[in-house]
């Protein structure tokens, strides 16, 4: 398993070592000890999964404290563009983002710590997306940022006309208009 640091401190791409032969493949998708040695101490409490069709964009979401969440995400079927935006006030990378393609082919995972907004768009016909979180889902603390905020400059790798959003995501505001509860430390 390889742990790849990104240009934004805390965001980590994880590439597993895949063992394959004519029968199929095997890989270790999570190892608590190796994760803690290479990323940070964490206790995941919930696993989630979604299935979405081409063009579905979910995000950019975060939960407010005390229910903020770190996430370890991966795409087990299909292909997505996964995006994390630094929303920690005072951070040298505030408002910057990292985009990573996650797919059933590359088997990459992406660790998104607390203090980041997160979202993904489906680039294949459909995708099954899984994520581990270190805090419980709390709908009253759910928040987000508009996916198309021009200040963020995210290239979603598809035309805006192809994007499919939930009603909740259609109503999200730009970062500059959103109350941000995170401070860089």
Instruction: Exactly one of 61, 118, 137, 160 is catalytic; name it.
Output: 61
Query: What's the gap between Cα 32 and its chain centre?
Result: 19
User: Which residues lie across from 99 on neighbouring strands?
Assistant: 83
Instruction: Exactly one of 118, 131, 137, 160 is catalytic; name it.
Output: 131
137 catalytic? Reply is: no
Q: How far apart are CA 128 and CA 39, in angstroms?
A: 25
Length of the chain equals 185
Q: How far apart are CA 3 and CA 11, in angstroms?
A: 10
13 by DSSP, 3-state: which? strand
Which residues, at least 6 apart from 40, have a Cβ–Cβ distance to it below 8 Å? 113
97 catalytic? Reply is: no
Based on its alpha-carbon atoms, the radius of gyration of the chain, rounded to whole angstroms, reads 16
Q: What are phi and psi of 122, to 5 degrees?
A: -85, 125
* Cα angle 51-59-80, degrees, rounded to a multiple of 5: 50
- Residue 115 CA: distances (Å) to CA of 4, 15, 24, 107: 19, 23, 38, 25
Q: Which residues are catalytic?
A: 61, 131
């Amino acid at each position: 398993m390889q742990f790849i640091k990104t240009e934004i401190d805390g965001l980590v791409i994880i590439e597993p070592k895949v063992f394959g032969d004519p029968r199929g493949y095997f890989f270790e998708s999570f190892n608590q000890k190796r994760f803690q040695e290479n990323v940070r101490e964490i206790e995941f409490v919930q696993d989630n999964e979604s299935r979405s069709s081409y063009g579905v964009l979910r995000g950019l979401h975060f939960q407010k404290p005390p229910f903020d969440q770190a996430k370890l995400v991966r795409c087990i079927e299909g292909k997505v563009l996964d995006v994390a935006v630094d929303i920690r006030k005072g951070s040298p990378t505030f408002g910057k983002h990292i985009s990573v393609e996650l797919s059933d082919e590359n088997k990459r995972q992406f660790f998104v710590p607390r203090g980041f907004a997160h979202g993904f768009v489906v680039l294949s016909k459909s995708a099954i997306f899984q994520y581990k979180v270190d805090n419980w889902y709390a709908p009253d603390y759910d928040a987000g940022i508009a996916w198309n905020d021009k200040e963020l400059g995210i290239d979603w790798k598809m035309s805006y006309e192809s994007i499919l959003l939930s009603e909740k995501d259609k109503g999200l505001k730009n970062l500059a208009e959103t109350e941000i509860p995170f401070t860089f430390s």
